[in-house]
Chains A and B, each alone.
Chain A
């Protein structure tokens, strides 16, 4: 199956700093999503971005599908940005099913200090 690797595993920042999280994947994908897991465990959708670039406030993401990686940028970080960030991908499944499971990376644990 597809492999998803996220880096770095841990990131510690001071409030106001910028950061870049990376997601590498081993095969062509038809779905790529970035999530923020809050302290209670819920996965919050950040971006659906199988290719291209998107921005939402202080967050932006870029996926270069041909080179099989995606980047999540966080600018002017705040303490509320702390938590685990997951990249998850979906591929065309057996039998031509296009809308299958997500395969998750191991996550990046972000800690933002005031």
Chain B
């Protein structure tokens, strides 16, 4: 069974640009979560999508947004990039009715 996949692996952008990160959950999983791991700040919850709807968002500005598609894959968009957005972005998926979350390999975003 394939795990959670994310693309791209690395992304380099300049300040002010937009970044789009993608996540495909484990087959059959309907919930997708996004987390940010910035240097020195630990892992922070960003967004939760379930059945195509945004269910919850963390303490991040509206520049961070996303969506979930009918096939349950998800996209994270970061607008007006700032230097402090440089981080590892991790996606996780979960099967309906089960608490355990499974993580993908991450996308490392560098903003210069």
Interface residues of A, Cβ cutoff 8 Å to B: 30-31, 33, 35, 40-43, 45, 48, 50, 86, 88, 90, 93, 97-107
What would 20 more interface pairs be, CB under 8 Å, given A99-B31, A102-B43, A104-B35? A30-B99, A31-B100, A31-B101, A40-B105, A40-B106, A41-B88, A43-B103, A45-B100, A86-B43, A97-B56, A99-B50, A99-B94, A100-B48, A100-B56, A101-B33, A101-B48, A102-B35, A103-B45, A104-B42, A107-B42
Contacts of B43 in A (CB 8 A): 86, 88, 102, 104
Residues on B close to A: CB < 8 A?
31, 33, 35, 37, 42-45, 48, 50, 55-56, 58, 88, 90, 92, 94, 99-106, 108
CA of A88 to CA of B99, assembled, Å: 12
Main SS of chain B's interface residues? strand
Write out the residue numbers on chain B whose beta carbons fall within 8 Å of the beta carbon of A101: 33, 45, 48, 56, 58
Q: What is the distance, in angstroms, from B104's C-beta to the closest C-beta of chain A?
A: 7
Main secondary structure on A side of the interface with B: loop
The reply to whether B105 and A41 form a contact with Cβ atoms under 8 Å apart is: yes
CA–CA, A104 and B48, complex, Å:
16
Q: Whole-angstrom distance between the alpha carbons of A61 and B21 in the complex?
A: 34
Which B residues are CB-close (under 8 A) to A102? 33, 35, 43, 45, 92, 101
Residue of B nearest to A86 (CB): B43
What are the nearest 7 A-B pairs in CB distance?
Answer: A101-B45, A31-B99, A43-B103, A104-B43, A48-B100, A42-B105, A41-B106
C-alpha spacing A35/B42, complex, angstroms: 14
- B100→A42 contact, CB < 8 A: no
Contact between B42 and A43 (Cβ–Cβ < 8 Å)? Answer: no
A98 cross-chain contacts in B, Cβ below 8 A: 99
